[in-house]
Amino acid sequence: MTHLECSLCNRKYEAGKTWNLCECGGPLLVRYDLGKLRSAWSRDSLVSAPDNMWRYAPALPVTHETSIITLGEGMTPLLHAARTGERIGASDLLIKDEGLNPTGSFKARGLSCAVSMCVELGLKRLAIPSAGNAASALAAYAAAAGLEANIFMPQDVPQSNFIECKAYGAKVTLVDGLISDCGRIVAERRQAEGWFEISTLKEPYRIEGKKTMGYEVAEQLGWELPHAIFYPTGGGVGMIGMWKAFAEMEALGWIGPERPKMIAVQASGCQPVVQAFEEGAERSQFWKDASTVASGLRVPKPLGDFLILQAVRESGGTAIAISDDELIDAGIQLATEEGIFVAPEGAACVAAAEKLIRSGFLKNDDRIVIYNTGSGLKYLEAYATRFPRTASGETDKLGGLITPR
């Protein structure tokens, strides 16, 4: 790591110090001496690297190994989805299953890196607004590091996230509102409370952990990127991180200049990025009355919207919105066909892939990677609408009522 750089105005900030946003309000990105790294680190060395995301430690910001807080995140499976692919017309469909990370989502990557940097920088009291899974991840990694976690979540957050955070010993506040309301509370109180804010893109290190998804998919595919990547886009940091990773890997000589089409998938009830993409805008507008069962997609205005749109447009990708009914049905069908129970956010990508193949935007023989960002087990309330139970019994798999004797 050489310095941090504003993604809006390119102002540089010194490495090794505590920063949130740039003075202009832009998110900060970590920069490295990639020329030096290229001569010292080869992809062949990964043969003996740890079997988690810290195998890419030379391209991560932590400088002292003793600062690393890991629960085994990363190196999630890349699974062939042959039956689903045949049904939707994709001969080479893959699911990157991030639901197998610690705490059941891809958020583990970002929070492992961010909390590790907090340890390195001597920060003790952390705060985060979250729609659910980021809160669970911060609570877990803060517990592992012995740090204080202050968490603000909408009151209708999935029960699994609330219970996880409480079990990990975090200080949890439920807010009558959206994640944007939670973020406002953290911003208003952080200085008086002495919290370091770990909101999406309001610190520079969560993106570094999430970018390892880009390194991983390249390694798992023999250093040839797929034709298209479908990514569920709430805050969109995973997409921004992967786009950053691809540029870094090219500078390292690990991949060529080819890039996958980056496809941002949102919910019909909260689609600020889709609207901005369709209008040709550089920034999104706040989405009023945001509503979707996919809580990770209920982000009315992503801070990094301009970076998401940049990745989508530069890659020749697109942005698409999926209804709640479509994504829940797609998740159940994927589970039935492949034995993979995905979060509603990941399910939205399956429905999106089917639409874009049928429209001709993607070819039948394109290699497609869908990122499932969390386990379906964390969203039982969302899926329960399709599997009602009764007081006297429960429905069997054919829909008939089983009555106890």
95 domain residue, yes or no: yes
Q: What is the CATH number of the domain that holds 242?
A: 3.40.50.1100
In a domain, 213, yes or no: yes
Give SS3 for 181.
Answer: helix
Give 3-59 pLDDT, tens digit per residue.
999 999 999 999 989 999 999 999 999 999 999 999 999 999 999 999 999 999 999
Using a cut of 0.85, tell me whether the model's pTM lies above it.
yes
Q: Is residue 254 part of a domain?
A: yes
What are the backbone dihedrals phi and psi of residue 101, each rounded to the nearest 5 degrees, phi first? -75, 160
Asked if residue 372 is part of any domain, the answer here is: yes
Mean of the per-residue pLDDT values of the chain: 95
**For the chain, how are helix, strand and coil distributed in percent, rounded to 5?**
45, 20, 40
Structural domain harbouring 261? 78-104+206-385
Q: What DSSP line would sit under 275-294, residue for residue?
A: HHHHHT-SS----TT---S-
Instruction: Reply yes or no on whether the pLDDT at 404 is more than 60.
Output: no
- pLDDT in the model for residue 179: 84
d(CA 210, CA 109): 5
Per-residue pLDDT of 241-279, as tens digits, reads 999 999 999 999 999 999 999 999 999 999 999 999 999
Give which of 244, 221, 239 is closest to 229, Cα–Cα.
239
Give residue 132's pLDDT: 86
Q: What is the 3-state secondary structure (H, E, C) of 90-149?
A: CCEEEEEEHHHCHHHECHHHHHHHHHHHHHHHCCCEEEEECCCHHHHHHHHHHHHHCCEE
Length of the chain: 405
Flag whether 113 is in a domain.
Answer: no
Give domain status of residue 252, yes or no. yes
pLDDT of 398: 54
In 3D, which of 364, 332, 363 has the Cα closest to residue 350?
332
Residue 402 lies in a domain: no
The amino acid sitting at 126 is L
Note whether residue 123 is domain-resident: no
Total domains present in the chain: 1
Q: Which residues contact residue 293 at a Cβ distance below 8 angstroms, ignoring those fewer than 6 apart?
A: 324, 327, 328, 344, 379, 381, 382, 385
pLDDT the model gives residue 180: 86
Instruction: Take residue 301 and report the two structure tokens written for it.
Output: 């205005």
User: Tokens at residue 295, please?
Assistant: 């809580």
Summarize pLDDT for 283-336 with one digit per residue, the tens: 999 999 999 999 899 999 999 999 999 999 999 999 999 999 999 999 999 999
pLDDT at 131: 82
